[in-house]
Chains A and B, each alone.
Chain A
Amino acid sequence: MQISLMVNGVSVETTVLPHVLLVDMLRDTCGLTGAKVGCGTGQCGTCVVQLGDRSVKGCQVLAVQADGAEVTTVEGVANGELTPLQQALWEEHGVQCGFCTPGMVMALTDLLEHEPAPDEQAIRAGIAGNMCRCTGYGGVLRAVRKVVGGKP
């Protein structure tokens, strides 16, 4: 099927079979390997990207469903320099092995875009769908607190 969409602000026209997942198309066709396939069952959150203005699990969406849409991956978040969220993740050691980081960044970018001053409960709920096997959640939470309130 012929589809056309915007990926990180760049127009992409491609042919894709209907059963191909969005995350696979982004990785294999667009070469954007930030979003990863962790569990493949919608639980781990390493595949999170933005579809339109909301974060979705890239392994729960077919590429053909994104026809005509705007997709943003972790590669498209920073514009020359790290966003405040990314900078805070760096400073607060919110990245350990890094496998979950692209999904964390995309889920939290969605959260902060729609709720600029989340309380602790909302921050935690914001990464409920992202698993960190290093259990480095403390650093991630400190980073978000720093972005929101200036203090980790």
Chain B
Amino acid sequence: MERLEYTAPSSLDDALEALHANPGARPLAGGHSLILDLKSRVRRVPLLVDLGRLAELRGVRRRPRGELEIGSMTTITELVADPLVRQSHVHGLLSDAAATLPDAQVRNRGTIGGAVLAGTDVAAALIVLDAETHIRSRDGRHRRISVEDLLDPATPGLAPDEVITAVGVSAATASGAHERQPEPATLTSLCGVAVSVTFRADGAIDTCKVAVCGGRTPARRLPALERAMTAIPERATGLPLDDVFESDDVASGEYRAHLALVLAKRAVARARDRAI
């Protein structure tokens, strides 16, 4: 790894100021992608601003309207063990998604904020929960944007001097589940599908949100799959999903689209089991 400068501010304002004042500076959270990139010299960063000392970015709080506010530096291990999360409808879905991370050490160190930006399975789960990121930059400037919009390649994404401080998950009650097909060598998801489903009294699906991830495709909602799952999921076949996923040296986009349909059906079935 090349030499670099490092600072570990004890206040968010100091961290934001350091990011603004030093072009090219990057915030350091769990480090699983950033430190790896620095080692392989894919990225060069003159200054790392470690967010690890900011207690205000850790932990889960319940807001007055029932919303869960998850501090962005909360680790995935802390998230799934948190009492507020465990008591909430989001626990099953987030546990499913957390289990997709390669191992306990990554969950111990990896953060919810990092998982949002990674745009993989945890982000897909957050998208179907309508999760919103709380973003700060210096001088008290702040904005909120949904995880879905933040990951949308058509939107500008996170600016270099912005920091995700929290992820908000609404109090709505739905039953969620996540299913995926891992790639054996890396244990990353060839395709991952998160669903959040509400059922009518007669057991029929009332609403169904579906988000997918896989390969280079950042997690995103898939309306065609949502419509198919809301109709009769077992009969869904031949959906127009071929352009959703890119092909790469591991799997074709067509195969990933096929997986998306199969996994969505499984996830809806699991969500149904959880709802009963």
Contacts and interface: CB of A to CB of B under 8 A. Distances in A.
Given A64-B8, A65-B52, A126 B104 contact: yes
Contacts of B35: 60-62
A16 to B, nearest CB: 10
B48 A61 contact: no
Contacts, number: 81
- The prevalent SS among residues of B at the interface is mixed
A56 B31 CA distance: 11
Interface residues of B, number: 29
B87 interface: no
A12 B237 CA distance: 62
Nearest to A69: B52
A61 B6 contact: no
- Size category of the A interface is 20 to 34
B6 A64 contact: yes
B109 A56 contact: yes
A144 interface: no
Given A56-B108, A61-B31, A41 B6 contact: no
B102 A18 contact: no
Contacts of A18: 3-6, 48
Contact of A67 (B1, B8, B39, B75): B8
Interface of B: 1-6, 8, 28, 31-32, 35-36, 38-40, 48, 50, 52, 75, 77, 99, 102-106, 108-109, 187
**Chain A to chain B: the 5 pairs with minimum beta-carbon distance, closest first:** A129-B103, A18-B6, A54-B108, A128-B103, A19-B1
